[in-house]
Amino acid sequence: MTILQHPDAQAVLQDAVLTPEQILELGERLEPFLQRYFPLFKRREQRLNAQLILEGKLSNLSRKTSEPIANLAHVRGENLQDFIGSSPWKDRAVLDGLRQHVIEVWGDAKGVLVGDGSGFPKKGEHSCGVKRQWCGRLGKIDNCQVGVFLGYVCRHGHTLLDHRLFLPSEWAEDDARRTECHVPKEITYKEIWEIQLEQIDANKDVPHAWVVCDSECGRVNAFRAGLRQRGERYVVDVREDLRLRDLRAAPPGRQGTKGRCPSVPPQTDALAWAAAQPASAWQRFEIRKGEKRPLVVEAVETWVETFEASRVGPVERFVVIRTVDNPDAKTWQTLSNAEEQVPLAEVVWAHAQRFWGEVSFREGKSEVGLDEYETRSWAGWHHHMTMSLLALWFLAQERYRVQKKTPAITVSILREAFSRILTLWRLTLDGIVREMNATLRRKEEARIYHYMANTGHYPPRRAMGEQNPTSAASKESSAASKESSTGPQELSAGPKRSRDPPVPARNSSASVGYGLGKVPWPESGTRFASLVPSRWSEPIERAPAPGTGTCPWYGHLPLVRAPAPGTGTRAPLNRSPTVELPVIAKTSANP
């Protein structure tokens, strides 16, 4: 009998089975989920764009920014870029709706609010709030933006509730940069711990028993004082060089024969105090079942007074926690205001919930593109984060629901299942060809604009098998000199060629590899989802309605930037191009 054939192993594997009915039900869950939030978007196109963004974040796109999502949905990229970057919908109203939703579905009196920050590396200097500052993701000081987040952990799961971009003092005091990034007038410079307290105030109605956070806020006496004033019970990380006095230690004896005997214990730092504790003082706890082994820690505690800027803080509970038999050994120094009757095991458990806050960040960045955005404005950053938190909450809620029948389900598997459903829903041969052509056209448009801006003439046509860039450059140089000496030349009609790549003929023998084995090409305009019943098996045409150039699903949105029918002119764009291209009349020699 192998390991996997053992009855205990078979019982574990039974928890890792999804049924077709569960997958189909997942595909029907997004629309009811969005119906709760649609009233928060006042305009019809805002509701449509919100749905497209959410579907894109749940897809298998390698980069989940506005333009790839627009390509996936076959809509204009400018529509989604404007929705994220400048559309006047209120992200705070959506976050309030998310919070109420979490309270209704997950409200747990033993829940934990998890405060944490996250750095987003940036290369330029124009994104709102960017500067050289500590970036936890890189583990060093680098050019980045810093977001302050508040998460929620309970017995049902974990998710992120709130976010706020940290605005450094250099930005807050620079009117020109504030204007450029549209920072609201009421936004002023605040420390990260002050932002964290505001987030706790905004989410105080979420049922919880503890507040936990890292040392960025925990080491600040004013932050801990703010939590005590709000009646919050906390356990927060502090730095290992924190100065403290152990109130349970005996005062040292008199040094020499003169002077008074010390009446209080001496000061020390957190690291030295933990190193001085005997092995018998440490207690062992199992805090959770890990993926490879149970996670066991040891903890020791005392009551201390802390010191900051020569001022003595209040009496607090000092707990040091360290991992046991773990190759990645870690030690945490923490402070808490939990009463003495609260067991040490409960304090250790509450601190361990910070792990799930970090998991929320990891899932947000790997599954819904939390760190993938191309916007510089204040509103754009918050709009992007709001939609990412909404997508993350949808996955967390679905995981909680599916977990009742499939305990081994993960957010990653759920997101992958949803992306497969979206692919079956949308994928057609016409759609593939159209998306590839749109990508090729955008690249060539950019090439034309750059050539005209830098050289004043059009780029040469690409030649098949061109491998000698030196000869090509010399040809371009001679053409440019000829044009500059004789003036602009009329564009000659090149050889006739098709604008679209060849499409394989669809016959009974043609097939494409997708999903489970080979499936035949569908008829024009039908989905690959012949395997899937319900509304996904209906024929669908994603091509423009004849003579309209608009998408038949969302008729008010232009599908591609194609010439208006019968006019030979370029369809209007939301943004003005750098160079206006002339309209070339069609002739027999110039198709």
**Percent helix, strand, coil in the chain (nearest 5)?**
40, 20, 45
| Cα–Cα distance for residue pair 390/383, rounded to 1 Å | 11
Q: Is residue 305 assigned to a domain? A: no
The answer to whether the Cα torsion of 352, 354, 360, 361 is positive or negative is negative
Domain identity same for 128 and 229: yes
| Cα–Cα distance for residue pair 105/32, rounded to 1 Å | 15
First vs last C-alpha separation in the chain: 71
Q: Let me know if 568 is exposed, middle or buried by CB neighbors in 10 A (0-12, 13-18, 19+).
A: exposed
Q: Is residue 187 assigned to a domain? A: yes
Domain identity same for 351 and 448: no
Domain identity same for 360 and 433: no
**CATH number of the CATH domain containing 190:** 3.30.420
Q: Where are the alpha helices (DSSP H) in 267-325?
A: 270-275
Q: Is residue 174 assigned to a domain? A: yes
Domain identity same for 530 and 439: yes
Domain identity same for 224 and 136: yes
Domain identity same for 353 and 435: no
Q: Is the pTM of this model over 0.75?
A: no
**Which residues form the domain of 189?**
91-233+337-364
Token pair of 469 as six digits: 């860039």
Q: Is residue 100 assigned to a domain? A: yes
Q: Is residue 131 assigned to a domain? A: yes
Q: Where are the alpha helices (DSSP H) in 507-582?
A: none
- Chosen domain end from 346, 364, 382: 364
Q: Is residue 484 assigned to a domain? A: no
Going residue by residue through the chain (591 aa), what tens digit of pLDDT does each one get?
788 888 888 888 888 888 888 888 888 899 999 999 999 999 999 999 999 999 999 998 989 999 999 988 888 889 999 999 999 999 999 999 999 999 999 999 999 999 999 999 998 889 999 999 988 888 889 999 999 999 999 999 999 999 999 999 999 999 999 999 999 999 999 999 999 999 999 999 999 999 999 999 999 999 999 999 999 999 999 999 999 999 888 776 666 666 666 656 778 899 999 999 999 999 999 998 888 788 999 999 999 999 877 778 889 999 999 999 887 889 999 999 999 999 999 999 999 999 999 999 999 999 999 999 989 999 999 999 999 999 999 999 999 999 888 888 899 989 988 888 877 766 666 666 666 666 667 777 787 888 788 888 788 877 654 444 334 444 444 444 444 444 444 444 444 444 444 444 433 333 333 333 333 434 444 433 333 333 333 333 344 444 444 444 344 444 334 344 444 443 343 433 333 434 444 444 444
Over residues 223-255, the pLDDT tens digits come to: 999 999 999 999 999 999 999 999 888 776 666
DSSP character for 565? T
Residue 34 to residues 28, 72, 106, 189, 449, Cα–Cα distance (Å): 11, 19, 18, 35, 40
Domain identity same for 341 and 452: no
* Amino acid identity at 267: Q
Domain identity same for 345 and 452: no
Domains of the chain: total: 2
Domain identity same for 107 and 216: yes
Domain identity same for 545 and 440: yes
Over residues 64-86, the pLDDT tens digits come to: 999 999 988 888 889 999 999 99
C-alpha torsion angle, residues 413, 419, 422, 424 (rounded to 10): -80
Q: Is residue 123 assigned to a domain? A: yes
Domain identity same for 358 and 431: no
| Cα–Cα distance for residue pair 243/160, rounded to 1 Å | 33
Domain identity same for 132 and 218: yes
What backbone torsions phi and psi does residue 147 show, to the nearest 5 degrees? -105, 145
Q: Is residue 30 assigned to a domain? A: no
| Cα–Cα distance for residue pair 338/316, rounded to 1 Å | 8
